[in-house]
Structure 1
Amino acid sequence: MALKSIIYKADLSISDMDRNYYAEHNLTIARHPSETDERMMVRVLAFAIHASETLTFAKGLSDVEEPDLWQKDYTEAIQLWVEAGQPDDRRLLKACGRSEKVVVYSYSSTSDIWWKQMNSRLDRAKNLKVMNVPAATSAALEKLAQRNMQLQCTIQDGQIWLTAGEESVQIDLETFKAEG
């Protein structure tokens, strides 16, 4: 018998002063049986950074043809493809061909090694952006994970804070590859 996804709920309040985006999102997050709380929280962080009315969680680990998050326009064309982790170059190049913009959020202590292997293979992907969440930060995000979460995300001048109750995590992303 296959293991089922665990359902998490998050009330996410976003104040993104860099984009002038202020909204409340009630998220239902299916955590794949093989997924860790750390990876799930990186997906929530990615949602907060790119939040819009049309951004949705996709099947991710459950379907190789879908990312972790995506944003489509009204014609079903993919505008934004978001991956968490360390996807291989073939997957990313295919995503770059299917979407206007692709963003990867790497979060492992081995991210530097992964990126050194991927960098030259992904040079030609002009619509790809690769960000790294430092390992200590992703570990701190993991501690915020609960089945029912009340989260606040504040983004200002490139600084990101994610807060749950009394716990707050400052996220300083590292840019491995900028778009263009």
Structure 2
Amino acid sequence: MALKATIHKAQLQISDMDRHVYGEHSLVIARHPSETDERMMIRVLAFALHLPADELRGRLEFSKGLSDVDEPELWQLDLSGDVVHWIDLGQPDERRIMKAHGRAERVTVISYASSTPVWWGNLEGKLTRAPKLAVWQIAPEQSQALAALAERSMQLQISIQDGSVYVSTARAALEITPIVLKAAQS
């Protein structure tokens, strides 16, 4: 018998002063049986960091993720079904990144493992021909602290200012400083 996804619910209050994006969002997160709290919370962080200011070009949504290898963790699809923004987590290989680059207007990869410098060192030179690609790193101690906030029902306040992300709940608060390894070219 196959294991089913665990449902988590998150009430997000987002104040992104850097991009002037504000709002409250109710998320229903289907957590794959093999997914860790850390990966799930990085998905929530990715949602907050890349939420579009409006839905004129579609909504940012969680995809099937680990359940479908042909989909990213999050994506923004326009009304015609074209991929506006493809967001992957972890350390995808060059083929996956370039395939996403061919399908989407923007591609973002967020890596959060301690092996990120080694992974990125092997790929950086190969991805110079990917102008739509942005690669970010979350320090492992910060992603693990974020994982400690995971609950089945969460209320998170996320404030983003000057490149830093402040995440707080009723019981804890932490600061996350994403590091840009590669910026997308405008």
Same fold (TM over 0.5): yes
Question: Could you tell me which residue of structure 2 aligns to residue 112 of structure 1?
Answer: 117
Q: Distance in 1 between matches of 2:21 and 2:182?
A: 25
Question: Could you tell me which residue of structure 2 aligns to residue 50 of structure 1?
Answer: 50
Q: 5+ residue gaps in structure 1?
A: none
1:82 aligns with 2:87: yes
For residue 72 of structure 1, report the CA deviation from its aligned partner. Answer: 1.2
For residue 156 of structure 1, report the CA deviation from its aligned partner. Answer: 1.3
Question: Could you tell me which residue of structure 2 aligns to residue 40 of structure 1?
Answer: 40
Q: Bigger CA drift: 21-30 or 164-173?
A: 164-173
| Superposed CA offset, 1:109-130 (max 9, x none) | 1111111111122121110000
1:18 aligns with 2:18: yes
For residue 76 of structure 1, report the CA deviation from its aligned partner. Answer: 1.3
Aligned identity (percent) is 52
Q: Distance in 2 between matches of 1:177 and 1:16?
A: 21
What secondary structure is seen at the aligned counterpart in 2 of 1:140? helix
What secondary structure is seen at the aligned counterpart in 2 of 1:49? helix
Query: Where does structure 1 differ by over 6 angstroms across 4 or more consecutive aligned residues?
Result: none
| Aligned positions of 1:1-180 closer than 5 A | 1-52=1-52, 53=55, 54-180=59-185
Q: Distance in 1 between matches of 2:165 and 2:181?
A: 18
For residue 68 of structure 1, report the CA deviation from its aligned partner. Answer: 0.3
What secondary structure is seen at the aligned counterpart in 2 of 1:108? coil
Q: Distance in 2 between matches of 1:91 and 1:60?
A: 14
| Superposed CA offset, 1:56-97 (max 9, x none) | 000111111110000111111111000111111111100000
For residue 25 of structure 1, report the CA deviation from its aligned partner. Answer: 0.5
For residue 157 of structure 1, report the CA deviation from its aligned partner. Answer: 1.8
Instruction: Kindly report the root-mean-square deviation, in angstroms, between the aligned alpha carbons of the 2 structures.
Output: 0.9
Q: 5+ residue gaps in structure 2?
A: none
Alignment: residue pair count = 180
TM-score (norm 1): 0.97
